[in-house]
């Protein structure tokens, strides 16, 4: 692709910043314009629901770069602005205020939006929260007061991280999960059992096989919740952690191929060769199908790979997934992706308080959950990169040196 024409980036999150920064690092001097709906410069989102919400870090420390960096690197920024329409035939985007921007290349980094509870069951009552951006975090900080009762709907990583922060702030916490167990979609039973035990040790009430019937309000403020088993629990606030949906509506209306996200090829291109998509909004090739990776790592790696293509390269993006979750003083690190696993192996060292769960699919190692075990995470990630299938006997022996598996 020729090194000409303005790059317009729709969205101002991790992928947007990573793409712009990578292009400038490559000495690509094309004009870059980032369009962001929020009123702040791009910032790190993971600490929002942890250190920022706990008051351990100020917001300015979450910014990827100060405002001067954008000026110095000739990256134009539109805050509090969003795109109403993509005019593909003219290579233009129409902004909400009526302004029109021409583009040579368009990158959609529109992210995702938390699923909301329907209004019919109380989803619009005051005191019902989701956690995605700075505004959400600021609202939650005001609601998370010692002694208050919070109901967290959803026993995935979002809900469980929220539970840990709420307990740290002195709240009474109940988590409900309508599936048979917490982390049903994302982790093995062994990992779920360990994480459940950690939360119960911190006095979090976890109710599995329990959904929400409806929320009850008083003067438009949530005051109680009727659960699927008929019980009613008093609450002061509710946090909804039931997943996210990709922000692909803009692409859909523009006639781009959309299927649970904006469909892209291995280079990040959409069905229009002048338009790319990266991050949570993008549905990319994975093994024999398609997937959306909702992680910071994917947003950065995919955006940087796209920047290389925009600058004239031809390298395909090959995802190497890794994730993490911080809960209390516990760090869960995940290397690989356990989709379709059919066997697991638990390695536990009671003396060190470390655990790791190793996933296999048709005999092949595909992923590891490392709980307070940095060595298991590092070794597992390296084995995935090198295509090493570990000796299960070594894995099962907590006294063995995992690093020997890299020398096999």
pLDDT, one tens digit per residue, over 151-187 is 999 999 999 999 999 999 999 999 999 999 999 999 9
Please tell me whether residues 132 and 154 are part of one structural domain: yes
The stretch 303-323 carries a mean pLDDT of: 94
**Sequence-ordered strand ranges (E) for 63-196:** 75-78, 83-87, 92-95, 100-102, 105-108, 112-114, 128-129, 149-153, 172-177
| Upper half-sphere CA count for residue 108 (Cβ side, 13 Å) | 35
Average pLDDT, the chain: 95
The answer as to whether 204 is a domain residue is: yes
* Residue 337 pLDDT exceeds 60: yes
Residue 360 three-state SS: strand
- C-alpha 390/C-alpha 360 separation (Å) is 10
Instruction: Quickly count: other Cβ atoms within 10 Å of residue 15's Cβ.
Output: 33
pLDDT at 2: 42
Task: Please say whether the dihedral angle defined by the alpha carbons of residues 260, 387, 309 and 13, taken in this order, is positive or negative.
Answer: positive
CATH of the domain at 185: 3.50.50.60
Among 194, 224, 240, the domain boundary falls at: 240
Tell me, letter by letter, the H, E, C secondary structure of 206-238: EEECCCEEEEEEECCEEEEEEECCCCEEECCEE
- C-alpha 352/C-alpha 328 separation (Å) is 17
The model's confidence at residue 408, banded by pLDDT at 50, 70 and 90, is: low
Of the ranges 48-62, 232-246, 314-328, 387-401, which is most confident? 232-246
Number of domains into which the chain is organized: 3
> 108-152: per-residue pLDDT in tens?
999 999 999 999 999 999 999 999 999 999 999 999 999 999 999
- C-alpha 405/C-alpha 274 separation (Å) is 45
- C-alpha 264/C-alpha 272 separation (Å) is 9
Closest CA to 84 of 95, 92, 70, 75: 95
Among 206, 240, 274, the domain boundary falls at: 240
The stretch 345-364 carries a mean pLDDT of: 93
- C-alpha 146/C-alpha 152 separation (Å) is 16
Please tell me whether residues 292 and 235 are part of one structural domain: no
The stretch 295-301 carries a mean pLDDT of: 94
pLDDT at 162: 94
Please tell me whether residues 143 and 61 are part of one structural domain: no
The answer as to whether 273 is a domain residue is: yes
Residue 183 three-state SS: coil
| Upper half-sphere CA count for residue 210 (Cβ side, 13 Å) | 19
pLDDT at 3: 46
pLDDT at 1: 40
Instruction: Quickly count: other Cβ atoms within 10 Å of residue 172's Cβ.
Output: 18
Predicted TM-score (pTM) of the model is 0.94
Question: 317: part of which helix (H) or strand (E)?
Answer: none
Please tell me whether residues 84 and 148 are part of one structural domain: no
The stretch 44-64 carries a mean pLDDT of: 92
Report how far Cα 282 is from the mean position of its chain's Cα atoms: 13
User: For residue 91, what are the domain limits?
Assistant: 7-113+246-310
- C-alpha 282/C-alpha 247 separation (Å) is 9
Tokens representing 341?
């696993």
The answer as to whether 362 is a domain residue is: yes
The answer as to whether 320 is a domain residue is: no
Please tell me whether residues 250 and 232 are part of one structural domain: no
pLDDT at 352: 85
Across 14-23, 53-62, 172-181, least confident range: 53-62
CATH of the domain at 388: 3.30.390.30
């Amino acid at each position: 692709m020729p090194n000409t024409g303005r790059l317009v980036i729709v969205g101002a999150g991790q992928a947007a910043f990573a793409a712009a920064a990578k292009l400038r690092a490559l000495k690509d001097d094309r004009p870059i314009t980032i369009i962001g709906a929020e009123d702040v410069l791009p910032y790190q989102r993971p600490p929002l629901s942890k250190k920022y919400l706990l008051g351990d870090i100020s917001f300015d420390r979450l910014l990827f770069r100060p405002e001067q960096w954008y000026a110095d690197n000739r990256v134009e920024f539109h805050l509090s602005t969003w795109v109403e329409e993509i005019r593909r035939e003219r290579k233009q985007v129409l902004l909400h205020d009526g302004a029109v921007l021409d583009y040579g290349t368009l990158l959609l980094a529109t992210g995702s939006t938390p699923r909301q509870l329907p209004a019919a069951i109380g989803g619009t009552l005051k005191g019902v929260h989701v956690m995605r951006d700075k505004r959400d975090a600021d609202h939650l900080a005001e609601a998370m007061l010692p002694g208050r009762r919070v109901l967290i709907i959803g026993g995935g990583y979002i809900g469980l991280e929220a539970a840990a922060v709420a307990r740290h702030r002195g709240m009474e916490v109940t988590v409900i999960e309508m599936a048979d167990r917490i982390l049903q979609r994302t982790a093995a039973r062994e990992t779920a059992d360990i994480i459940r035990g950690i939360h119960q040790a911190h006095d979090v009430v976890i109710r599995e096989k329990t959904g929400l019937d409806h929320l009850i309000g008083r003067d438009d403020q949530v005051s109680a919740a009727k659960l699927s088993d008929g019980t009613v629990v008093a609450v002061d606030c509710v946090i909804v952690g039931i997943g996210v949906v990709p922000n692909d509506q803009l692409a859909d209306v523009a006639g781009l191929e959309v299927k649970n996200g904006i469909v892209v090829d291995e280079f990040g291109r959409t069905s229009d060769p002048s338009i790319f998509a990266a991050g949570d909004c993008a549905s990319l090739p994975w093994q024999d199908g398609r997937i959306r990776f909702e992680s910071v790592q994917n947003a950065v790696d995919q955006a940087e790979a796209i920047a290389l293509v925009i600058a004239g390269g031809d390298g395909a993006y090959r995802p190497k997934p890794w994730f993490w979750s911080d809960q209390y003083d516990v760090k869960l690190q995940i290397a690989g992706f356990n989709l379709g696993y059919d066997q697991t192996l638990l390695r536990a060292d009671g003396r060190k308080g470390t655990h790791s769960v190793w996933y296999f699919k048709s005999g092949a190692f595909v992923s590891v959950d490392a709980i307070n075990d940095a060595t298991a995470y590092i070794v597992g990630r390296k084995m995935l990169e090198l295509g090493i299938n570990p000796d299960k006997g070594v894995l099962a022996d907590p006294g063995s040196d995992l690093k020997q598996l890299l020398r096999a």
